[in-house]
Amino acid sequence: MDITVESIVFLIFGVLTLGSALLVVTTRNLFHGALYLMASLFGVAGLFVLLAAPFLAGVQIVVYIGAIAILIIFAIMLTPQVTAMRSVRTAQWPVAVAVAVIFFALLVSVVTPLMDELGVDDFAADFTQKSPPDVPADSLVRLGEQLVDLQQFMLPFEVASVLLMAALIGAVLLVWPEGTRSTPPGEAGDD
Amino acid sequence: MTELLQDIGLSHGLAVFIAKAVGVMVVGAFGLLWTLLGIWIERKAAGRFQDRLGPNRVGPFGLIQSIADTVKILLKEDLMPQGADRWVFNLAPIVSVVSVMLIWAVVPFSGSWIGSDLNIGVLYLVAVGAFGTVAVLMAGWSSNNKYALLSAFRSVAQLVSYEVPMVLALLVPVLLSGSMSTQTIVEQQHIMYLLAVPLTVLIFLTSGQAETGRGPFDLLEAESEIVSGFHIEYSGMKFGMFYVAEFLHAFTIGVLTAILFMGGWRGPFAEDVPLLGFIYLMIKSMVAYMVLIWVRMTLPRLRIDQLLDFNWKFLVPLSLVNLLVVAFVWKILPDTDQINSFGDALVPTLVLLVVNIALIAGVGAILRERGRRERQRVEARLTAAESAAAGD
């Protein structure tokens, strides 16, 4: 396995992703945990770039760091104790460890035959090329077209949109002040 | 440069790496050095807007005032609040500056000068903006000051809110050029998009002004009233970095306006002489930036409820309608997917301009009606209060 610049970058992002993920669950400070989570998600975005999927990398950052992680921080600030969290170790932890190990084994068992099928046997070389020959240059355009193609992913795309819309309306209804369901909150508080 | 490095015996990968690293340094250094001059220009312009002279003591016309300020700020004591979160506290100003500098990676300075011509350019702009939001939260939390924290939350609420109309406005040039690459968007502007979609430019500039937290949207760090917001505990160069980030972000909004709506580096002979394209880009950016300073120095601050009302009840619906209308018109116009010359672009531009003027007129009518009703409401309240006072 040759050491290329790409494989070094791959290692950096891999360590960043896994190391921060580990710190998320071990740190005693919830706010630091959220920041480590951001670093971990950023590492995943870097891996997407190495896999010649810049669009997914951009979306990863916009959605996970720009929106979800910020929301998590807002939620953390509303909790009574942010720093010096006590270690909460319930009787369930052996079960949790077992489930995690089984899930990891499952992932490996799924991904390994897939790599054989694709003819990938050298990770650093085949996964981190700048533009691999089997990734079309216009993959972004094709992604867009398939999302609105009736034969392809039109239905899932629309269902997801409707679901998000329903969640939006639900969120607005949840925070609507009691007893003023007929008037908007701004005008109800006048005078 | 890559060839030169390969000639002296470096491998291809290493040569590319070094060439890119040098490019990053050049763009970064340019951005930061430009800040020194830019702050002088801004203070001079702001002075004129407020009927004073602006900096005029250090050097000719006060030109090296910024350098003197830099030295002063570097020599200041570096304070660390008690109980502050050391790492996060030190990291926040860096993240803040970096999030702005990253934008410059996709700025096409001329036909061939661009850091990286990403095919997701516009999405990248939105993505790196997210780091700026994170920096605000980091600064607010790590300062161990409840006012800094409160202010950080309110700043983030503002940033996240105004991101919505901004992204919707960014979609319009993407739609018109059929690409997210900043270079392609510039190349596709045979006629400036400013002339086709002026309403989008207004939305972009407004939300951009709010994203940078400058007047009239600067109520959360109003220096004359509440002594700045989330960076209240910062001193010396760390405060300087927030200041630089804010200035550079505002100027970058000007650059983006020039690229996305004013044809970027395009101009007479710009294709043959890259330097000329760069000069055109800077001139256009300055024009857009001067508009931002003009607004900043002229309008009074909004209240927080006005700020959020203006975004969610006016700007977001407006940009949604604007996007839908532009997309619809663009779809029904013939041959809009192959515009290769000035002639091709003429008819669609004219049609879009007419539609935009109609939209602006409609919005103006709605605003006038709203304003009339608001005035009536206030007057009724005043008369009620007066008669109550007379009855006592």
Could you tell me if residue A188 is inside a domain? no
Residue B320 neighbours by CB distance under 10 Å:
13
Where residue A124 falls among pLDDT bands split at 50, 70, 90? very low
Task: Say yes or no: B124 and B241 in one domain.
Answer: yes
B133 shares a domain with B56: no
Structure tokens at B69: 């300020």
Instruction: Provide the number of structural domains found in chain A.
Output: 2
Inter-chain contact A35–B14, Cβ cutoff 8 Å? no
Contact yes or no for A5 and B17 at CB 8 A: yes
Instruction: Report the alpha-carbon distance of residue B275 to residue A169 in Å, rounded.
Output: 52
Cα-only R_g, chain B = 23
- Inter-CA distances, A119 with A52, A163, B264, Å: 18, 38, 45
Judge if B134 and B163 occupy the same domain: yes
| A3 and A42 both lie in a single domain | yes
Helix orientation angle between B12-49 and B236-261, rounded to the nearest 10 degrees: 100
Q: Are residues A131 and A165 in the same domain?
A: no
**Whole-number Cα distances in Å, B246 to A151, B97, B119, B162:** 47, 8, 27, 16
Mark whether B234 and B106 lie in a shared domain: yes
Pairwise CB contact (< 8 Å): A59 & B123: yes
Q: Which of A5, A58, A186 sits opposite B14 (nearest CB)?
A: A5
Compute the distance between CA of residue B96 and CA of residue A158 in angstroms, rounded to an integer: 37
pLDDT in tens, B193-244: 888 888 889 899 999 888 887 878 877 777 666 667 777 788 888 888 888 8
In a domain, A189, yes or no: no
Domain with A106 in it: what CATH number? Answer: 1.20.120.1200
* Low-confidence winner among A8-12, A85-89, B238-242 (lowest mean pLDDT): A85-89
Domain span at B153? 76-391
| Residue B80 pLDDT exceeds 60 | yes
pLDDT at A179: 66
pTM recorded for the entire structure: 0.84
Structural domain containing residue A112: 1-85+94-135
Are B280 and B175 in a shared domain?
A: yes
Q: Both B23 and B101 in a single domain?
A: no
Q: Which residues of A touch B311 (CB under 8 A)?
A: none
B142 and B21 together in one domain: no
pLDDT, tens digit, 9 for 90 and up, residues B222-233: 766 666 777 778
Residues A52 and A111 in one domain: yes
Q: Say yes or no for a CB contact (<8 Å) between B120 and A55.
A: yes
Do B41 and B111 share a domain, yes or no?
Answer: no
Query: What pLDDT sits at residue A125?
Result: 46
Same domain, B357 and B264: yes
Residues A53-82: tens digit of each pLDDT: 788 888 888 888 888 888 888 888 777 777
Domain limit, last residue, from B51, B70, B89: B70
With a cut of 70, say whether residue A128 has pLDDT above it: no
The total of structural domains in chain B comes to 2
* pLDDT the model gives residue A181: 55
> Considering chain B, what is the average pLDDT of its residues?
83
Same domain, B127 and B4: no
pLDDT of residue A136: 64
Among the partner residues B118, B130, B163, nearest to A61 by beta-carbon distance:
B130
Query: Per mean pLDDT, which range of A24-33, A99-108, B10-19 is the poorest?
Result: B10-19
Task: Classify B55 as helix, strand or coil.
Answer: coil
Contact state of A140 with B149 under an 8 Å Cβ cutoff:
no
What mean pLDDT is predicted for residues B147-155?
Answer: 83
| B328 and B281 belong to one structural domain | yes
Residues of B in contact with A55 (CB under 8 A): 120, 123
Asked if residue A35 is part of any domain, the answer here is: yes
> Given this model, what pLDDT does residue B112 score?
73
